[in-house]
A and B are shown apart, each in its own frame.
Chain A
């Protein structure tokens, strides 16, 4: 199965 990743994993908070 595949797992939904989150956008915050790729883009950092500024």
Chain B
């Protein structure tokens, strides 16, 4: 028996919009810790890890650890039928091959049930090692989204370099080249407008912009994004989900041949 009641149902809607273009089918894991997912894109270049902690739900009942295979496009279709202010409850019975999403309007005058078929997914779970990152950049998520979008009109890859001068995003393409440098800026009115750069060692890595642009679909989840970089390791692009958890995207770097 599974029953997860999320008062801020819009969070789940936003999570699906953030990941459904990257991953087609995925197993959602439910345990005492929370509702989570780990999945790779079809080419195994990027990985998404989601955690919605049990404490963030108004009601959280999960009698035993369960893994439920879902088609994210179908799940997104169903969640789009929930209003932005709706309370969403996820319900499942042991041994059932379906899951039910219940949407309640804030005034309780409309209650809808959507039943979705589950699927068997043979997915690989990867162990993500704890890493010491050479540099961690915290910046407004909208700014990061803008940079990725702007650069992708010039080139296909972005070089992200962190030095003591700041963080530089560079690209090069047939029509020319572009460099965008952000300096640390903590003298802002609101903390969510700050750019904070922690650097232990200078680092420079190259990534495919197509994936970065896909990650920025998580922008509505959080005003800030954290980008953690280490030489020859996948970058981590993290969007925190208010008081509940996170969506983390890992992207393998492009390596010089």
B residues contacting the other copy or chain, number (CB 8 A):
25
Q: Are A3 and B127 in contact (CB under 8 A)?
A: no
Identify which of residues 197-213 in chain B touch chain A, using a CB-to-CB cut-off of 8 Å. 206, 208
CA distance A11 to B47 in the complex (A): 10
Please, which residues of chain B bring their CB within 8 A of the CB of A7? 40, 44-47, 126, 234, 250-252
Q: Are A14 and B126 in contact (CB under 8 A)?
A: yes
Which of A1, A10, A14 touches B125 (beta carbons < 8 Å)?
Answer: A14
Band of interface residues on A: 10 to 19
- Contact status of A5 and B40, CB under 8 A, knowing A11-B47, A11-B128, A14-B127: no
Please, which residues of chain A bring their CB within 8 A of the CB of B250? 7, 11
Please, which residues of chain A bring their CB within 8 A of the CB of B251? 7
B9: min CB distance to chain A, Å: 31
Which of B47, B128, B129, B252 touches A5 (beta carbons < 8 Å)?
Answer: B252
- Contact status of A13 and B126, CB under 8 A, knowing A2-B254, A4-B208, A5-B252: yes
Please, which residues of chain A bring their CB within 8 A of the CB of B43? 6
CA distance A5 to B256 in the complex (A): 10
A10: min CB distance to chain B, Å: 5
- Contact status of A6 and B257, CB under 8 A, knowing A13-B125, A14-B126: no
The 8 A CB mask of B170-205 against A (1 = contact, 0 = none) is 000000000000000000000000000000000000
